[in-house]
Structure 1
Amino acid sequence: MKTQGHKIFFLIALITFALGYSQIKISGKVTYKNKGISEVNITLKDTYDGATTDAQGNFSFETSEKGSHKITFTHPKYEDIEKEIGIENQDIIINADLKEQISEIDAVVVSAGSIEASDRKRATALLSPLDIYTTAGADGQITSALTYLPGVQKVGESEGLFIRGGTASESKIFMDGSLINNYFSNSVPGIAGRDQFNTSLFKGNIFSSGGYSALYGQALSGALMLESVDLPDQSSYNFGVSPIFLSGGFQKLGEQKNYSYGASLGYSLLSLMQNVFHFNTDFIDAPQGLNGDVNFRFKTKSGGFFKYYGMFNSNKMGVKTESLEPEYEFGLVRLKGKTMYHNLSFRQKFGKYLLNVGGSYSYNQSDLNFSTETNEIEDNHTKLLTDGNYVNFKTVLERKINRISAVRGGFELNNTNENLNFETVQKNYKDLISSAFIETDLGFSNALSAKIGVRAENSSYLGKSNIAPRFALAYRLSDKWTTNIAYGIFYQNPESKYINGPAALDFQKSQHYIFQLLKSSEGRSLRFEAFYKKYDQLIKTYSILPGKQQNQQIQTALNNDGYGYAKGLELFWRDNKKTFKNIDYWVTYSFLDSKRDFINYPVSLKPGFAAEHTLSAVVKRFIPEWKLGVNLSYTYAKGRPYYDIATELKNGEAVNYTRNEGRLKDYNALNISFNYVPSIGKKDAKSFTVFVLSISNVLGSKNVYGYNFSTNGSRSSAVVPPVNTFVFVGAFFSFGVDKTEDAINNNL
């Protein structure tokens, strides 16, 4: 009986134990916008119990836990959810509806009108310093490399960025947020000035061919924002040698890696190459220049960062051309140019706020001397002397709202003081442009974001103010496809070179409408963009003849009655070593329809700097076993129009009219460059060497940039490149840092 009682007691205890630890089933469904989500992790907090949702979002698991617990739902792309449940003796059904996780990595980025090289994640990340150096025909210049992107016209006779039917003055270039007023070197008419800034100075850039940020102003067409390097990885020394130039420099990094300083110096002279090649241009004084720069960078203990950069450049040249006037045999022009630039910037984070403060000073002097020659006797000397001082100050304060939303605002001051002395025309132009701006990035979801901004400006010279709203929207259609739209109003003062007398003037104005479709995948990108620009209040001018020589005309502002439009389509495709091993290539096509009635145009005309069709292709191939890079580039542009416009007096008023007009021959240029990276010195030595051979216009196409006309329009001469085909040979050496592998991997 006792034994039977023990059995009954043991059975009751066993049943009680089983009931106490019986398994309860927890199940449910996880959704996002009423659709099931797979791969969601469900966990009973502080236990090992849980499950993962299937393709339909369903889950189930069993637990022996009892009482009050918390259950969590987690997924990398969605916000975590935590719910409380009470576990008793019955199965539980619990559902969850997740919200999308807002992420800087996954969020769509507004990019209408812009190509950014500072963010390597994006398909439009293009013009890194290595991209520029290895683009055949770019000559290591940022602005030359940009002509192989959609939207930028190939205009060989003048420096500057001609963007979507806009003049070179309608695009502006900034360094660390501050305006560069003298980015290009001085030159003589018909020969383009060169970039004065070393490409390796910049770690990234954002090129906007329209619809750019409210943080920037005074540009009707586009903007190039350059970002200078911070601290170098280590100290280094470098020098370069070629038949054209000698250069050397160094960068010294502090032992604590919290500061660095450096300098470089270069000298160039073209006379040796004149003896080797047949030049179209008769240089009576071979182009030569002396340039140098210094920099200092310092990181504070509180995380702030100071950067200083200073540059100077002096250059001179002399050109002799056949005179178009019958009383003279030749025309001569000699140039002496001087430029200087200083840039100081500081950034510091204060909690949720980021402060950027920057300022720059630019000085530019151009001394042009015109004369004529008859029977080897010089006469009729005329001097055109211009000099300008420019000061820019800008401060921007930014606050993060969440991971992908932010608001930023600030103000900018841009002061100009220019002098011109040209025979009877003497002027001193002064203007202070004061600007305030505010802009916000709004991330509604990973698939939808917007940029909304407004900029206000006041010009002391014009005595007028403006307000310019700007808006852009980006939406991700799928994992690979994104669409963008943008709209903005942009204002710009009339060019000071036209303001040679009293005139009632106002801001020039443009409106941008942009639609972009972008496909991005690893190693490949496809971009389609359509745009429309409307111009109002463009400057109108008439010609005056201040010089002793009748062909020395200058344009003088009359009013703001000009207008115009530009519309077009652009296509860009890049395949970076994805389809073909070790081959990076891109192709661009631009269609441009533009007309303007501005400066001295008598009626609305297609601008002389705008080609209707432009096609470019860039191919880069690196052969690792030879340590040799082979780079090709090709550009075709439909012939641009040209005009011979004169001014005559009718009833006491200056009237412009067209005497001669036509269309240039189509532009063609095939360029090739070779970059050889040998192994020199010890295997583990910290050094880097590259030999460069570059040939521009390999096929020797005789391109024409335009025509000059005599005073009466009866004679003309073509404006052509200084040389049809040019060969550059050079060697560059760096010590203290070995970049060989980086060069190979990045297709140098």
Structure 2
Amino acid sequence: MKKLNLFITSILLLTSLKVLSQTQISGVVKSQKGEALIGANIFIENTYDGASSDIEGNFKFATTESGQQTLIVSMIGFHPYQKQINCNGTTITINITLKEKIDQLNAVTISAGAMEASDMKKAVVMKPLDIVTTSGALGDIVGAFNKLPGTATVGNDGRLFVRGGDASETNIYFDGLQVGNAYGSTAQNVPTRSRFNPNLFKGSFFSTGGYSAEYGQALSSALVLNTIDMPLRNQTDISVMSIGGGITQTLVGERNAFTASANFMDLAPYMSIINQNMEFTNAPSNWNVEALGRQKIGKSGLLKAFVHTESASLAINRDDINETEKIHTTVDNTYHFGNVSFKNTINESWSYYGGASLSYNTDEISLENIALKKVNKLAHVKGVLVHDVSDRFSYKNGFETYQKHYSEEVINNEAVRAYNELTANHFVEADYYFSKKLVLRAGLRSSYNDLINKFWATPRASLAYQVNENGQFSLAYGQFKQLPKEELRVQQNNLENATASHYILNYLYSKKGRTFRGELFNKNYNQLVQYSNTDGFDYEGLRNSGEGYARGFDLFYRDNRSLKETDFWITYSFVDSKRNFKDFSSQVTPNYAPKHNASVVMKRFFQPLHSQLGFSYSWNSGYPFHNPNKAGEMQSMTKDYNNLSFSWSYLPKPNLIIHFECSNVLGSQNIFGYEYANQPNTSGIMNGRPISQVADRFIFLGVFLTLSKDKNANQLNNL
């Protein structure tokens, strides 16, 4: 019994000594804003001694460790906290403040003026699949982007017009490198298309203003298209269409991939069946061959090389109100584009990217007895170094050069005029996160052009604030400069930059398949080109004396959640644009800038029918035009533009798709302006006639077959 009592006494004594040797640790965990943090993990390093903070941020625990120990506090979204403490059996009270950690997955992003689609973005606006499945776009990249806010449909042109700006004010980039002559060559009032296949691209960045200092020489907009890094599988894609056909072969290795394609298009059979509003003596036709190679470099690097070559032609008997007979016009175009791009990381905080591209465009044009030849070459070289200093601060530093050649030749009399120039650019841009809800981006772009011997610098700045988990406001400001069009500068080399200042306020809301975007904008123009008179080839009195503005707002709503298996979006843009430019003597609204623009796009997949049905409706208020029979300038307006388009995709097998599409189903008689005679008739009136669309409708039928080991792979992206 005595032994038992002695044992129990020893146990109690040891226990009491252990309790007496424990160190009591307590305190409170808060953010830098003084807010209590719930669920923070507090513990002694290399032990199981610890606790979690409660609803008020308080914690308390005991440890039997002694001497110098490391107290660690961790919580998702905050930087880890460490503190050396002396565990000596007493009570230790610690008040802990955690610094917020900025993570790109949960931090606010700049959205003013920007519509981006990529895997990294929370609010994807237009994916590559959207580009090719939008009714009425007919697989054209620009045709699909014309269904987004801030754009205007100019049906007799086909290019991208953004917020009251001319199509030349938008630059297109391929993997970050500028594309020269990104649209196919065409005749007057015959709409063109962008040159590249949408299936090349994994994502896009479309800026309607206020864009990064990385991009320059564009007054209105930048469209950046990024190619697919690595395709999923080996496959062969075959296309048979009512207007042509093509074949694409993709080969995928462990660290590389190669895609090559050949395509041709000839509208002659189609136009022999479907009536056109213009007299084509040689229907538009073209062929192209392209190849894209990818090679992984190291652990995270990637090298891409792309080549594209094409040839196109058309001939048309064009009505001229000043001539009794039609003017025969032919256009023969050859185009080559090459691009090499790279990206890689040096370590956790340093990375780099860049590349080089070359565009070479030749147009041979015949206007009755006049033969013209135009050559446009653009070489772009670029390198960018990125440093992530911390999770709050990063910057990029880049240098690029543009080497440009442009020439015009009248072959009949061997008259030639040309110019060459080099433009060197440096840009620096930094992002600073004050918190995960507030970010500032500031940049400066500096340039020098040897032809005009001028240096200039343009600042850019954006600020974004996240109101809540789903909504944010953004502000953007930027100055932009752009040298005049080639046909003006080739006549007068010393023309200087036109300038534009952008001011943008944006609100973006995105939650579970729904996106709303509203944006106010104001653009001020200076040093626009003016001239006294032109005959279409020569311009008199060229000078940088024009000015103007464009102001308004955009609304965009997209929803793929409210209606089952249905995706739709609605856009509306109001643009008040006026310019004193060209040969006008007052500020006028350009003929490519309708005041009201709206569109509705809807797509729905019907599983029992193995079909996707889609439609789009586009509407613009009238286009301004100048009527010489009235006082003033650009004082008249066409009727409203309307276009309802329909598409149907049928999948009888997973790898076989039959696609039908019809644009302008209702056959709306859209007018884009009027042309007038140079001399009045016997009644003193200038005769005029409308500029209309090439055809009332366009009908497309295609069959797309995919051959691969994966029997479910198809060409849905081709539709």
Please tell me the TM-score bracket, short chain as reference.
over 0.9
Q: 1:265 to 1:94 in 2, by over 3 A?
A: same
The answer as to whether partners of 1:27 and 1:59 remain within 8 angstroms in 2 is yes
Q: Which of 630, 655, 672 matches 2:646?
A: 672
Establish whether residue 642 from structure 1 lines up as the match of residue 632 from structure 2: no
* CA deviation profile, 1:19-52 (whole Å, cap 9, x unmatched): 1233765433221122211122222333333332
Q: Distance in 2 between matches of 1:282 and 1:213?
A: 45
CA gap 1:690/1:403 in 2 versus in 1, 3 angstroms: farther
Structure 2 gap segments, 5+ residues each: 681-685
121 and 179 in structure 1: CA distance in 2 versus 1, 3 angstrom threshold: closer
Contact 1:539 1:557 in 2 (8 A): no
The CA deviation string for residues 548-572 of structure 1, in whole angstroms up to 9 with x for no partner, is: xxxx565456100000111111111
Q: Equivalent residue for 1:728?
A: 700
Are residue 207 (structure 1) and residue 203 (structure 2) matched?
no
Q: Is the 8 A contact 1:645 1:660 kept in 2?
A: no
- Number of the residue aligned with 2:668: 701
SS of match in other structure, 2:109? coil
Following TM superposition, by how much is the alpha carbon of 1:429 offset from its aligned partner in structure 2, in angstroms? 2.2
Q: Separation in 1 of the partners of 2:540 and 2:255?
A: 52
Given that residues 600 and 645 in structure 1 are in contact (C-alpha distance below 8 angstroms), is that contact kept between their aligned partners in structure 2?
no
Instruction: Specify the alignment match of 2:424 in structure 1.
Output: 434
Distance 1:747 1:296 in 2: 20
Aligned residue in 2 for 1:601: 584
* 1:283 aligned partner: 280
Matched, 1:328 2:295: no
Instruction: Give ranges in structure 1 of 5+ residues lacking alignment.
Output: 372-380, 546-551, 647-656, 681-687
Deviation of 1:641 after TM superposition, in Å, equals 0.5
Q: 2:340 and 2:419 mapped to 1: Cα distance?
A: 26
CA distance in 2, matches of 1:98, 1:553: 68
Conserved? CA contact 2:286–2:311, under 8 Å? yes
Give the drift of 1:76: 0.6
> CA-to-partner distance for each residue in 1:493-520, whole Å, 9 max, x for gaps?
1111123534752211111111111112
Amino acid at match of 1:613: H
Give the AA of the match of 2:547. Answer: Y
Q: CA deviation at 1:306?
A: 2.3
Shift of 1:642: 1.0
1:409-488 mapped onto 2 (5 Å cutoff): 409-422=397-410, 426-488=416-478
Shift of 1:104: 2.2
CA distance in 2, matches of 1:403, 1:24: 36
State the TM-score, normalized to the length of structure 2: 0.93
- Residue pairs, 1:469-618, within 5 angstroms: 469-502=459-492, 504-545=494-535, 555=539, 558-576=542-560, 578-618=561-601
AA matched with 1:662? S
On the 8 A contact 1:707/1:716 being kept in 2, the answer is yes
Distance 1:573 1:498 in 2: 40
Q: How does 1:127-276 map to 2 (within 5 A)?
A: 127-254=126-253, 257-276=254-273
1:458 maps to amino acid:
Y
Q: How many residues get paired?
A: 707
Partner Cα separation in structure 2 for residue 743 and residue 526 of structure 1: 30
Say which is worse superposed, 50-59 or 62-71, in terms of deviation: 62-71
Deviations 1:324-346 (A, max 9, x none): 12x52323222211111111223
Task: Choose which of 394, 399, 409 in structure 2 pairs with 1:406.
Answer: 394
Q: Which amino acid aligns with 2:112?
A: A
Q: Distance in 1 between matches of 2:479 and 2:278?
A: 42
Maintained 8 Å contact 1:622/1:747: no
1:659-683 deviations in Å (ceiling 9; x for gaps): 7741011111111111122226xxx
Partner of 2:683: none
Q: CA deviation at 1:445?
A: 2.2
Query: How far apart are 1:465 and its partner, in Å?
Result: 1.4
CA change 1:472–1:557 in 2 (3 A) is farther
Give the direction of change, closer, same or farther, for the CA distance of 1:644–1:180 in structure 2 (3 Å limit): farther
- Relative to structure 1, is the Cα distance of residues 605 and 250 closer, same or farther in structure 2, using a 3 angstrom cutoff? same
Identity score, percent: 32
Closer, same or farther: CA 16–69 of 1 in aligned 2, 3 Å: farther
Conserved? CA contact 1:503–1:559, under 8 Å? no
Name the SS for the 1:109 alignment partner: coil
Secondary structure, in 3 states, of the residue corresponding to 1:456? Answer: strand
Aligned equivalent of 1:16, options 13, 16, 25 = 13
Q: C-alpha deviations, 1:432-477, integer Å up to 9, x for none?
A: 2111111122223211222111111112222211111111111212
Task: Give deviations 1:147-201, integer Å, cap 9, x for gaps.
Answer: 1111111111113221111111111001112110111111000012111111111
Moved more, 398-407 or 700-709: 398-407
Q: Secondary structure at the match of 1:292?
A: strand
Deviation digits for residues 189-232 of structure 1, max 9, x if unmatched? 00121111111111111111111111111101110111112232
Contact in 2 for aligned 1:170/1:219 (Cα 8 Å) = yes
For residue 173 of structure 2, give the secondary structure of its aligned residue in structure 1.
strand
Aligned CA distance change for structure 1 residues 387 and 503 (closer, same or farther; 3 Å): closer
Other-structure match for 1:377 = none
Q: For 1:453 and 1:660, locate their aligned partners in 2 and report how far apart those are by CA, in whole Å.
A: 38
What whole-Å deviation, never above 9, does each CA across 1:405-432 have from its counterpart, x for those lacking one? 3221122111221111347874112222
Q: How does 1:59-138 map to 2 (within 5 A)?
A: 59-63=59-63, 68-123=68-123, 125-138=124-137
Considering only aligned residues, what root-mean-square deviation do their CA atoms show, in Å? 2.5
Q: 1:66 deviation in Å?
A: 5.2
In 2: Cα distance, 1:304 partner to 1:487 partner: 34
Instruction: Show the counterpart of 2:380.
Output: 392
Q: Which whole-Å CA distance do the structure 2 matches of 1:34 and 1:407 have between them? A: 30
| 1:374 match | none
Matched residues in 1 for 2:4 and 2:127: separation? 84
Structure 2: distance between partners of 1:719 and 1:555: 24
How far off is 1:241 after superposition? 0.6
The alpha carbon displacement at 1:619 in A equals 0.9
Distance 1:451 1:9, change over 3 A: same
Supply the AA of the counterpart residue of 1:319: I
Contact 1:481 1:517 in 2 (8 A): yes
Structure 2 distance, partners of 1:742, 1:244, is 21
In the aligned structure 2, how far is the partner of 1:267 from the partner of 1:71?
A: 69
Alpha-carbon deviation of 1:294?
A: 2.0
Report if the CA contact (8 A) 1:498-1:541 is conserved: no
* Contact kept in structure 1, 2:305 and 2:339, CA below 8 Å: yes
Classify 1:742/1:404 alpha carbon distance in 2 versus 1 (closer, same or farther; 3 Å): farther
Q: Is the 8 A contact 2:355 2:382 kept in 1?
A: yes
Q: Is the 8 A contact 1:37 1:57 kept in 2?
A: yes
For 1:353, the equivalent position in structure 2 comes to: 350
The answer to whether the Cα contact below 8 Å between 2:352 and 2:384 also exists between their aligned partners in 1 is: yes
Are 1:628 and 2:624 counterparts?
Answer: no
Name the CA distance, whole Å, in 2 between partners of 1:706 and 1:358. Answer: 42
1:21–1:65 Cα contact (<8 Å) kept:
no
Q: Which one of the candidate residues 674, 678, 696 is aligned to 1:711?
A: 678
